[in-house]
Structure 1
Amino acid sequence: MDSARILFQFLIAACAVASSVALLAGFFGAFHPALDSFSHFRTHLAALLVLLALVMIIAGPRWQAVPFLVFAIACLATTTSLPGLGKSQAGFTAKPDDRAVYRLLQMNLRYNNPTPEKVLSLIDSVKPDVVTLNEVSDMWAGKLKLLSGVYPYSIACPFPNGFFGVALLSRQPFVEGSEPQCNDRGSMATAHIDFGGTEVAVAAVHIGWPWPFNQFRQIRSLSHPLATLGEDAVVAGDFNAVPWSEAVQRFARAGALTLVPSAGPTWFYRRLPAALSFAGLPIDQVLYKGAVVVHSATLLEDTGSDHRPVLVEFSLKPAAAEPEGGPKTATVSAERPEQRKLVRGG
């Protein structure tokens, strides 16, 4: 009996050490993308370590459980998506009464979504000013054309595999003289949009999977487009990376962007029970800079994808008064066919 208990204690301690090593590795993602891959599961590993520490408290020796428990809690404190901690709502500013508040809806459509009508219904009910879309496959090109009357300004960028294209839809006009762009084989779509006379660069992005895939390489290839966005910008998309990862932080640094506090887990493995959705990953991100002021970030209902949509409300700081006769932002007419047409996504 004693030998069985000693073996059990050893196995629990070994699992606790392994979990701790994996957790620690995730803090060194700047040195190698393989280490950053551990960071995406920080909340899960920390929760496992808490459970193992509790088992150690019950089964003994209790003193060994203390450092593991403290380390696990410290790791959880570095995340922004754990339900109940309240950190996900930090940093938001109250809505202003004296200027317009705009809405951006970020959605990973899922390339083979069996219920596209749910997506169209949500867009119709929420009525966002801008929609950023990921996994825009050939199936979605025709569906999105149904929205062209409400969203006359749009750009879609096909991706070589035919599934992971991105698109951007806008009620607000594109700035006259600006050209919407596709970057990195169609993983980023950018348009300069006129929000009541203020030019804001808005981008939809889809970043690939972490190491051993080429997530860091893709972020490097997007460094120049991010650095040239302009003073005021909003970037939204499926990053396949959690907010505290080196991947997201590196992306933010490349564009001098600030990360919107996470609204919570956006991705969830659909074969698991819905009751476990809280254990998903917050991998859909929105970033901003310049005159953009963010007021809220909210998870919306399921639309048939394995990602939940994120609705962000923001406003723009009043621009400094221009001298009489100074430059003003010109906008594209809604009648310009080259801006109204939705380019087919691949």
Structure 2
Amino acid sequence: MAPEASARRSGRGLTAPLLALCATLPTLPLVMGYWGALHPAFDALVHFRIHLAAVVVLAGLPLLLFQGWRRIGLTAMVLGLTAIATTLALPIRDVQAWARVEPANGARYRLLQLNLRYDNRTPKQVLSLIGRVEPDVITLEEVSAMWREEIALLRHAYPHQIICPPPTPVGGVAILSRRPFLHPSRAQCLDRGALAIATVNFGGTAVDVAALHLGWPWPFEQPWQIPRVSAALQQLSETAILAGDLNAVPWSITARRIAAAGGLARLEAIGPSWLARPLPNALRRTVGLPIDNILVKGRLVPLDTRRLDDVGSDHLPVLLEFSVQPDTAPREMMQARLRQ
């Protein structure tokens, strides 16, 4: 047999084992991600559940063409597709179902959530976006010294503000509002500027608005930050919104613990909003991580969420439209909607 033919046959013989290796190795971190309640190291893996599952499916598919390897390929594909389907179909909250709910008093409000990126080189794009969208309230993260100067330009349009002193050069969080703060002296910065809470008057209804920026997952500071933040979130009033960069996907144990601490429901339909800067911006909406989260409770009714255009940050802006049910709304009806 010619050496070239032997080499080609040897290469073909290695194809199936290599594909099987690519299909099986990612299943280890994929499965370990479901053990997040046992240790934060496992919860850190859950952020890449969709990506790992996609690799398993794509590597398993060509194995169906190789006799003797089809069972491995089929098993890998079933495991990967099941992980994707169950994660994306979590019934915690479907915002689109809320879009049919009409505001009782006709009032619709807007909240803009954005991690500014502390060293954003295009701050004017952010200011332009705010001018076009005209949100009622804005929650911001990574408000660095540079951003404090830019935000000063918004003082006339957003006279009610709380800007937390930055614990590091990355910056703290901030809440800007067109609508007045109730009890302004009670607006507070917590956890070294990573959490801000203010009570905002929406048409005569008091709504606690919180801006939160969690640290990176294990082995970084996030697991140790959660107990401190949770203690503050337990004090939120009956109707509240929490928005921010949780550095955690909605299906993580971290996001669940934050939601449980405040008695909040997570909005699941926002979609990917963050991608590391070296990667193309065009991929952010498809393969990015959905770590910019919004959570609500009480009489607040989400009507729509959408990601807006890139403004120079490594995060996309997220816009929430919502209404606030009046006090006369039957409590049973509101609880039923929260369970949808």
**What is the TM-score normalised by the length of structure 2?**
0.88
Matches within 5 A, 1:312-331: 312-320=320-328
**Offset, 1:162:** 2.5
Q: Matches of 1:174 and 1:89 in 2, distance apart?
A: 27
SS of equivalent residue, structure 1 residue 40: helix
Q: Which residue of 2 aligns with 1:32?
A: 39
Give the percent of matched residue pairs that are identical in Structure 1 and Structure 2. 48
Q: Matches of 2:213 and 2:84 in 1, distance apart?
A: 27
RMSD, aligned CA: 1.9
Q: Which residue of 2 aligns with 1:116?
A: 123
Q: Matches of 1:97 and 1:40 in 2, distance apart?
A: 38
SS of equivalent residue, structure 2 residue 272: coil
Gaps of 5+ in 2: 1-5, 330-340
Matched, 1:156 2:163: yes
**Offset, 1:56:** 1.1
Q: Which residue of 1 aligns with 2:332?
A: none
Deviations 1:175-212 (A, max 9, x none): 13651111111100000111111111001110111111
Q: Matches of 2:257 and 2:104 in 1, distance apart?
A: 35
Q: What letter corresponds to residue 83 of structure 2 in structure 1?
A: C
**Offset, 1:8:** 3.0
Q: What letter corresponds to residue 61 of structure 2 in structure 1?
A: L
**Offset, 1:316:** 0.8
Matched, 1:63 2:110: no
**Offset, 1:106:** 0.1
Q: Which residue of 2 aligns with 1:136?
A: 143
Deviations 1:41-97 (A, max 9, x none): 011111101111112113442122111111111111133399xxxx96544232426
Q: Does the Cα contact within 8 Å between 1:88 and 1:264 map onto a contact in 2? A: no
**Offset, 1:12:** 2.1
Q: Matches of 2:216 and 2:48 in 1, distance apart?
A: 14
Q: Which residue of 2 aligns with 1:328?
A: none
Q: What letter corresponds to residue 221 of structure 2 in structure 1?
A: N
The higher relative CO (CA closer than 8 Å, separation ≥ 6) is in: 1
Instruction: Considering fraction of residues, name the structure with more helix.
Output: 2
Q: Which residue of 1 aligns with 2:305?
A: 297
Aligned residues: 317
Deviates more, 1:54-63 or 1:90-99: 90-99
Deviates more, 1:52-61 or 1:144-153: 52-61
Q: Which residue of 2 aligns with 1:339?
A: none
Q: Matches of 1:51 and 1:156 in 2, distance apart?
A: 46
Dislocated runs of 4+, deviation >6 Å? none
Matched, 1:255 2:229: no
Q: Matches of 1:81 and 1:303 in 2, distance apart?
A: 30
Deviations 1:243-267 (A, max 9, x none): 1111111110111100012321100
Q: Matches of 1:116 and 1:257 in 2, distance apart?
A: 32
Deviates more, 1:14-23 or 1:2-11: 2-11
Matches within 5 A, 1:263-282: 263-277=270-284, 278-282=286-290
**Offset, 1:160:** 1.7
Gaps of 5+ in 1: 322-346
SS of equivalent residue, structure 1 residue 150: coil
Q: Does the Cα contact within 8 Å between 2:114 and 2:315 map onto a contact in 1? A: yes
Q: Matches of 1:319 and 1:56 in 2, distance apart?
A: 59
SS of equivalent residue, structure 2 residue 26: helix
